[in-house]
Amino acid sequence: MTLQISSAELEIMKVIWRKPGIGATEVADVLADKQDWNIRTIKTLLSRLVDKGALSIEQDGRRYLYSPLIAEKAYQKNAAGQLVDRLFGGRAAPLVAQLADARGLSEQDIEELEALLGRLKR
Nearer to DNA, 30 or 45 (CB): 45
Q: How far apart are the first and last CA of the chain?
A: 34
> Nearest to residue 6, comparing CAs of 63, 46, 34, 56?
46
Under a CB-based contact definition with an 8 Å cutoff, are residues 31 and 11 in contact? yes
Nearest distance, CB of residue 45 and its own copies, angstroms: 16
Contact between 75 and DNA per CB under 7 A: no
Q: 30: which residues sit within 8 A by CB, 6+ positions away?
A: 15, 18, 19, 22
Binding of DNA at residue 108 (CB under 7 A)?
no
Residues binding its own copies (CB under 8 A): 7, 10, 73, 75-81, 83-84, 86-88, 91-103, 105-106, 108-110, 112-114, 116-117, 120-121
Residues binding DNA (CB under 7 A): 4, 6-9, 23-25, 36-41, 43-45, 47, 61-64
